[in-house]
Amino acid sequence: MNERQSSQLLPDLFESVAEDQCITVLHLGPVLPETMEYFSSFRCKLHVNDLFAELPLSFKPGDELTVQERMSSLVSFPEDTRFDVCLFWDLLNYLDQDGVVALMQCLRPHLATTAMAHAFTVHNIRSPQRDCRFGIVSDSEIVLRPRHHKVPEYAPHSQGKLKEWLDGFDVKRSVLLAQSRLEILLELRV
């Protein structure tokens, strides 16, 4: 089953990108062919990091590494990398507070001063889990495909908590979607 969904926020994410500008994009999750095709029309460097394959990232007694140490080993980039766009998709729904904070600590040195990010979160933390992979079809359309397995540790957070944990990002806009989900657009606070 492929589901297509319009996006009111993707146009804002890419509106400031000049036609001849080279951008650096971080895609956190499995990449779909539609996304590759979409970005082929840009001058860009696309970094794909499927953190979903590494879940769960929460710390448990007896673990050798802290969440921050694990995240640092999974999310590392060349020192001069600066991301203009970050696609979190629904990853934030599967990270606990330590995971979100650790991710932001790893990303912060690699964010361009005009960085923007896109994510799907929830309006109601009791919203059911939706195991989807996401792709970009166009500036205003996203494709959703079911995952082949249930992603562990679904534990969505309120928008207030995420604002606190997403150090450096402010919520620029959010749109309420069906099933009490939120599409959010984040911009770097400088």
**What architecture is domain 3-188?**
3-Layer(aba) Sandwich (3.40)
For the chain, how many residues are written?
A: 190
Residue 171: enclosing H or E segment and its boundaries?
strand 169-176
Of 62-66, 67-71, 94-98, 158-162, the one with minimum mean pLDDT is: 62-66
DSSP state for residue 12 in the 8-state scheme: H
- pLDDT tens digits, one per residue of 152-162: 999 999 999 99
The three-class DSSP label of residue 148 is coil
| Residue among 15, 2, 44 nearest 118 (CA) | 15
What average pLDDT is seen over the chain?
Answer: 93
The answer on pLDDT for 185 being more than 80 is: yes
Of residues 157 and 167, more confidently modeled: 157
| Structure tokens that stand for 26 in this block | 């971080």
Average pLDDT over residues 52-59: 88
- pLDDT tens digits, one per residue of 96-145: 999 999 999 999 999 999 999 999 999 999 999 989 999 999 999 999 99
Residue 104: enclosing H or E segment and its boundaries?
helix 97-107
